[in-house]
Amino acid sequence: MSAAQEQAALLGSLCLATSVVIATIMIFSRVSRFGVFATVNFLFAAALFWTQVAYGFSGWRSEIVAAATSELPGVLLVCWVCLAQVGGLPGRLSARPIGPVIQRPRPRRLLWMSAVVLSVAWICGTIVGLIWPSPALQAYASAPIQFLLFKWPISFSQGAWAGLAALVFALAVRSPASAAILRLRNGAFASSMLAFALIAAESAAFAGVRLWVDEGRRGVLEFMLGLEAALAVLCFAALGIGLALRYTPSVATTVLGKMHTAWIPARERFESFRWRVSAGGGSRGVIRASYILEEAARLARLPKPDNDRALATIQLLAVMRDPSAETGRVTPAAARDLYEMQEELSRDDVLWAKIGAAMRGRSGAGSSRVGASGTSQEVLGVALDLIEPRAEPQERVPRPLWSCLVAVAAGDAGLVDPAVVRARFGSHMTFDAASKIYEDAKEVMRSRTLRGL
């Protein structure tokens, strides 16, 4: 058995083991579409690698075909992750994105382009390899220049977009505006994608060593093959951990089970749609208001938790105003149900302690009052007060500055009627201060735009 066949056997075994682990997670927890895709994709990869082991392709063109097809599962995985991050999968597949999304247009456009760029790179590399064949599966043999023309387009495109996906996941980990379980899951996915990007970089370097290094080449290549195997283990293990973190552990108490199974999916549904609306960009008014709100928070020297609550609230308002949220049961009525459910849970100390223990097992955040996440009580309360105000007056209730800034931004973005905002918040001195700070922030943003021109 050649060195290439030994490496293919190792990678095929790792892919098979990963598919079994992911399938087991889904059997004992909750089936997800990404879990199904990952299981099938890793089985496909295992079959391709073991085909190389079984047949040991002879002839350079057959080696190119085998090497190119073994790259397909990686291309599909990176494309799925990138498109899921921007809510770009068709139909119901985008209802629950597996990772974070970002509002800035340039990274979002790059993520949208992943499927096209990766597919074109794979097709071009394969065509070049078939026209000018090379010993693609002879691990220690010297390679001609055409091997780089086959390998580098595929490796560089995979590495670049896997690295971008890892960066987006890592940025989401830093934001406390998401539920802690999502931050942990995003951290696992960031590690997985970073490991995948390093594998792609190692593969490109491997091709370069085969071309340019003569003396001591075998020792270098043996080390690189071992490094590739270690990175593959890290990539697959982190991916499995990220998928496992999606699921809610069972709790024995009957009452707790009923509340838990209603509360956790409701929170995750709101989180997913909040990310999805941000991914789609919402409306230009929402994006503009978010940037101005961040600048206003800076001018007002708001603490970071208050800044995160303000941004989470404006995103939640955009979710509840988005027409597609109706089909996902993310409506003001559903938000009111979630708010009241959390109120009821927090009033029962014994029940809340049990939920806290279960949540600590998932994310380490169970002891707080739902934490500083996108669906915390403060965020839900302010969003509901703006979009669905209660009948009783609340003029005497003191309002924090961040909530007044959100009210001004929501009126400016057209998410709520400015007249309703004024009637609801206008009697507070804090609201007047927030209005002035928001206008100052608009002037600062306008000045920056003019200077940029």
Phi, psi of 291 (to 5 degrees): -65, -45
Task: Please report the beta strands in 71-127, taking only residues with DSSP state E, as ranges in sequence order.
Answer: none
Residue 49 to residue 158: CA distance in whole angstroms: 19
Tokens of 133: 């064949």
Residue 404 to residue 224: CA distance in whole angstroms: 57
For residue range 224-258, list pLDDT tens digits in order: 999 999 999 999 999 888 888 754 434 334 444 44
349 burial level (CB within 10 Å; 0-12, 13-18, 19+): exposed
Is 119's pLDDT higher than 90?
yes
Is 196's pLDDT higher than 90?
yes
For residue range 42-100, list pLDDT tens digits in order: 999 889 888 888 776 667 888 888 888 999 999 999 999 888 887 766 544 333 444 44
Polymer length of the chain: 453
Residue 416 to residue 186: CA distance in whole angstroms: 32
Nearest-10 Cα torsion for 48, 53, 58, 64: 30
pLDDT of residue 109: 84
In the structure, what pLDDT confidence band is assigned to residue 102 with cuts at 50, 70 and 90?
low
Residue 42 to residue 29: CA distance in whole angstroms: 19
Tokens of 20: 């079994």
Higher pLDDT, 253 or 104: 104
pLDDT of residue 147: 92
30 burial level (CB within 10 Å; 0-12, 13-18, 19+): exposed
Tokens of 105: 């247009």
| Residues 251, 257 contacting (CB under 8 angstroms) | yes
For residue range 293-304, list pLDDT tens digits in order: 888 888 888 888
pLDDT of residue 96: 40
Is 378's pLDDT higher than 80?
no
Domains of the chain: 3-244 (1.20.1070), 254-452 (no CATH)
Residue 153 to residue 263: CA distance in whole angstroms: 47
pLDDT of residue 365: 41
Higher pLDDT, 194 or 352: 194
Is 22's pLDDT higher than 50?
yes
For residue range 321-344, list pLDDT tens digits in order: 765 554 445 567 766 776 776 676
Phi-psi region of 58 (alpha: psi -120 to 50; beta: other; left: phi over 0): beta
DSSP letter at 426 equals T
Higher pLDDT, 450 or 228: 228
Q: Which of 406, 398, 379 is nearest to 296 (CA)?
A: 406
327 burial level (CB within 10 Å; 0-12, 13-18, 19+): exposed
397 burial level (CB within 10 Å; 0-12, 13-18, 19+): exposed
CA angle centred on 165, ends 305 and 38, rounded to 5°? 115
Residue 118 to residue 153: CA distance in whole angstroms: 9
| Residues 420, 446 contacting (CB under 8 angstroms) | no
Higher pLDDT, 177 or 179: 179
